[in-house]
Amino acid sequence: MNILVTDTGFQTETQPLSWVCYTPEITRPASALEIAPATDLQPLHTHLDNIRHIRITFPIFSDGRGYTLAHQLRLLGYRGHLRATGALLPDQYGIARQVGFDAIELTPEQTHRHPEACWHLRADWSQYDYQARLGSNLSVATLPESTLRGELSGKAAGV
């Protein structure tokens, strides 16, 4: 049984979904659709209201096309559950959440390599979301002094 990583930690999927792999020949997509990173979203656009769950696969950890798909789905108005699966690392959790994923699906083998504590360290992803801060009054004057010292000392040292 697969594990879902969310902001609150690991959750066991209690009712596994029946995923249907998307192909352009599908005229009426299922309520749980799995799409590959090279998928053209245009044919799906008119069906998004009928799809409750979308799972985007990541064949290798360095393939960022899944992030682009997730962001595009949200821009197209997709409001359902969006999950990433495949070769993902804990360090990628923050960007996955920022582009619109609700969860990351892990196999039991992945949870042995990267236990819950590794993912939990990245659970406060929104703290580092610069876009959320653009509308606020955040400026250099409001940053903690320790943050400024760290940034300035790194630049001065040529890091």
Name the more confident of 26 and 85.
85
Q: Is the pLDDT of residue 139 over 50?
A: no
Averaged over 139-156, what is the pLDDT?
Answer: 43
pLDDT at residue 89 is higher than 50? yes
Q: Read off the pLDDT of residues 38-52 as tens digits, 9 standing for 90 and up.
A: 998 888 888 888 899
Quick check: 157 pLDDT over 80? no
Contact criterion met (CB below 8 Å) for 62 and 39:
no
Of all residues in the chain, the percent with pLDDT exceeding 70 is: 77
Is the separation of the CB atoms in 80 and 54 below 8 Å?
Answer: yes
Helices (H), the chain: 65-75, 93-99, 108-113, 116-120, 130-134, 145-156
From the CB of residue 86, how many other CB atoms can be counted at a distance below 10 Å?
A: 19
> Please, what CATH class does the domain formed by 3-125 belong to?
alpha beta
Q: What is the pLDDT of residues 5-35, one digit of tens each?
A: 998 889 998 888 889 888 877 777 788 999 9
Give the whole-angstrom CA distance, residue 17 versus residue 146. 47
